[in-house]
Amino acid sequence: MDALERLRAICLALPEVTERLSHGEPTWFVRGKKTFVMFADHHHDDRLAFWCAAPHGAQEELVGEAPERFFRPPYVGHRGWLGVYLDVEVDWAEVAEIVVDAYRQIAPKSLVARLP
């Protein structure tokens, strides 16, 4: 499975998530409205990555600890969103946790309550 397929499977496993293109990239939405993850296939640079909502302080902490794996994405980085490189060795269990955290930031409480 390639990176997009793996990311897609993680995102679509969450309650009431849909996928559609946004700005030319696969993007995942809660209830078809609010973005929580956006794929970035060399969208603004020469890297494969995704951008996602993140809990307060997570972006600064992760980018500070591992800038080879995480970054502050353009356009949404000022809102605390996290960029995650997918063209490095990827810990997919960690990616799944990051995606679920992104979902928790955006989804209504009624959907978050349905998470295991």
For 20-69, the pLDDT digits (tens) are 999 899 999 999 999 999 999 976 678 999 999 999 999 999 999 999 99
* CA distance linking residue 62 with residue 12, whole number of Å: 24
Residue 79 burial class via C-beta count within 10 angstroms: exposed 0-12, middle 13-18, buried 19 and up: exposed
Q: Is 24 left (phi over 0), alpha (psi -120 to 50) or beta?
A: left
For 75-115, the pLDDT digits (tens) are 999 999 999 999 999 999 999 999 999 999 999 999 999 99
Residue 77 burial class via C-beta count within 10 angstroms: exposed 0-12, middle 13-18, buried 19 and up: middle
- The answer to whether 30 touches 103, Cβ cutoff 8 Å, is yes
The tokens for 75 are 């356009």
The reported pLDDT for the residue numbered 46 is: 84
pTM above 0.75, yes or no: yes
Indicate which CATH number applies to the domain containing 62: 3.90.1150.30
Its domain, for residue 92, covers 3-113
Looking at the structure of the chain, the number of domains it has is 1
5-33 burial string, b = 16+ CB within 10 Å, else e? eebbebbeebeebeeeeeeeebbbbbeee
